[in-house]
Structure 1
């Protein structure tokens, strides 16, 4: 199957183009390419069948005209890739040929079954409005023709040409319908993928790839609600880099950005799988630690602080320290109150000389 697909994707019928599957133009070009190939194959086969088997010389001439028109259109599309013009010309050629075919055949051999192709092609290639005008006008004209002339036609049984018409027309409708569904599925998958990417971007800090402030607010609200409902422990840590402005001034913002990226990796390596880490803003980071009491919060903060102090950042082997404020959850806590208490601990750590951990206002002890 794969080899047949590769073979089908090479040949005179292939239209080179730069479009990707998520672009509607990709599917319009692909459909025109396939329709042109099918029509060339169809008219080529029926040209000989109408001459040597069915003895329909006028239909053989119509087949030859259609084959030439499709070939000219194919050459033009390959050369100019004017999709709108080619789509209109293709629909025009098909409508004219089907009209000629029906008139010449006098409705014999169930030739009218080919009309079902017109709306499918017209809507996809021309759009809703123009597709409605073209297919509606074409079908109305043919219905009027049938009403006017059909009383003069003899009845036709199912014969070999009729079987050919019915079978090939049904295959064509099936092929076009599959093409439409595949393009719709590709478009849906593309939009779903883009939505997932946008969702990730909406909750991710672009520099560190950690959770951003907005997403941290949502997570903290959920964890607070869970802690209150089930009487679980919960701790919050806020940490800030020490003298980061001096580092930026001495080494530049690009190095500063690289330091923040490495810092996010160091922090991620120290927390537990159940903890939530994010960039709170600037050079501040927030850790939400479920099922963690005050003592556990201090222990986690110290583990982080020591790991950062021992790490050497970037190629310059820079030394960096962090100050950390932490607190556990109280029964009456809200997002504002618990973050404020952790922030008070951070302020105290800065005041006490940096590179240390301090509990918030309700702290009973300081850690050195």
Structure 2
């Protein structure tokens, strides 16, 4: 078996209880619980040794025993992947440890500060399970607190008082280490939630773009055109700026497919869509209407300016080059202007009629229809 380098083991340790089919949320919970329980177990070794060094061997044995049981629970979790049992055992250990330690030190006078560690039981339940479980663990914490108060005098009578300076030192160490671990738990959860929220937003944006974009030409699709046109017509109705519409259709497109194949036909569609998009302002809008037809929405544009734009696009369309030297693309255009109060169907119908005039008159031309 290949020996794992120390830094590799350190990185893999939080994930050793993770199963391949675990969700991202469950993976995070397992990793954070493993990190937290392992950190507390190592700290317990320190506390136990420190208590023994300062003349409290029985009190020192309690956190040392906790460490052994906690590590055993963690290894059992790695072997079985039973996360629910792992959570329960670690919560029970961290709930009982502070009380046993406090009772051995003589009650609240010497050991009240260790109570901060018991807070990890309901806090862990809140993070890893739910609010109902956290409430139950908090009630258990309060029950043990009341029990401690009832027997406080008894505990104090059988314990050696701790020097004031040492008591203060323990207070600062417990408080500092406890809050650091709480901060680590919060950091991991908040960071993960922020990351998950960002990924969700990106996924929603991507899905929305896919829903509103034509996959072949990468311009807006019919669904997007419908919503955008309703918005532009409403804006025109409210504020009164001119709104011009151009409907354009590639000439003899069926011949392109029949002669060169659909792959070349797709290339022609993409090239024309790119050309239309490059010819517009940022405020303008282009969408694939269907087949080889495209619609251009031109807010704040008069019918005269829209006609001039259509003529420029028509002329430059013939300059688009393809791998087939003999292939030359032309397009027909129908131009109209929306009147306040008109529906989308009425405007597009008139633009389609104008484009039909261009087709019937020989193609590769611009026709304008206002009535």
TM-score w.r.t. the length of structure 1 is 0.80
Question: d(CA) in 1 for partners of 2:111 and 2:326?
Answer: 85
Q: For the structure 1 residues 25 and 248, does the alpha-carbon distance in structure 2 shift closer, same or farther, using more than 3 Å as the test? A: farther
Question: Deviation at 1:149?
Answer: 1.7
Contact 1:88 1:126 in 2 (8 A): no
- Asked if 1:114 is matched to 2:123, the reply is no
Residues 271-323 of structure 1 show CA distances to partners (whole Å, capped at 9, x for unaligned) of 23332112223332111112332232222112222333322346798543322
Contact 1:274 1:289 in 2 (8 A): yes
CA RMSD of aligned residues (A): 3.4
- Which of 126, 131, 135 aligns to 2:129? It is 126
- Which of 156, 163, 168 aligns to 1:159? It is 168
Question: Deviation at 1:49?
Answer: 0.5
> Which residue is 2:347 aligned to?
338
Secondary structure of the 1:139 match is helix
Secondary structure of the 2:297 match is strand
> Which residue is 2:51 aligned to?
50
The range that moved more, 329-338 or 281-290, is 329-338
Secondary structure of the 2:190 match is helix
Residues 72-105 of structure 1 show CA distances to partners (whole Å, capped at 9, x for unaligned) of 4444555666544543443344334345434434
TM alignment of 1:1-368, pairs within 5 A: 10=10, 13-15=13-15, 23-53=24-54, 55-76=55-76, 83-105=83-105, 106-107=107-108, 108-110=110-112, 111-133=114-136, 135-154=137-156, 158-249=167-258, 253-313=262-322, 318-331=327-340, 333-360=342-369, 362=371
Question: d(CA) in 2 for partners of 1:168 and 1:137?
Answer: 24
Q: For the structure 1 residues 109 and 232, does the alpha-carbon distance in structure 2 shift closer, same or farther, using more than 3 Å as the test? A: same
Q: For the structure 1 residues 8 and 174, does the alpha-carbon distance in structure 2 shift closer, same or farther, using more than 3 Å as the test? A: farther
Question: d(CA) in 2 for partners of 1:263 and 1:65?
Answer: 76
Contact 1:109 1:165 in 2 (8 A): no
Contact 1:47 1:60 in 2 (8 A): yes
Question: Deviation at 1:344?
Answer: 0.7
Question: Deviation at 1:324?
Answer: 1.6
Residues 123-181 of structure 1 show CA distances to partners (whole Å, capped at 9, x for unaligned) of 21223344443x14532441342243224343976533333323322333333333333
Question: Deviation at 1:237?
Answer: 0.3
Contact 1:50 1:60 in 2 (8 A): yes
Question: d(CA) in 1 for partners of 2:233 and 2:57?
Answer: 84
Stretches of structure 1 that go unaligned for 5 or more consecutive residues are: 1-6, 363-368
Question: Deviation at 1:265?
Answer: 1.1
Secondary structure of the 2:15 match is coil
Q: For the structure 1 residues 361 and 165, does the alpha-carbon distance in structure 2 shift closer, same or farther, using more than 3 Å as the test? A: closer
Question: Deviation at 1:254?
Answer: 4.7
Residues 12-46 of structure 1 show CA distances to partners (whole Å, capped at 9, x for unaligned) of 74436699xx9323431331242134213302311
Question: d(CA) in 2 for partners of 1:36 and 1:18?
Answer: 19
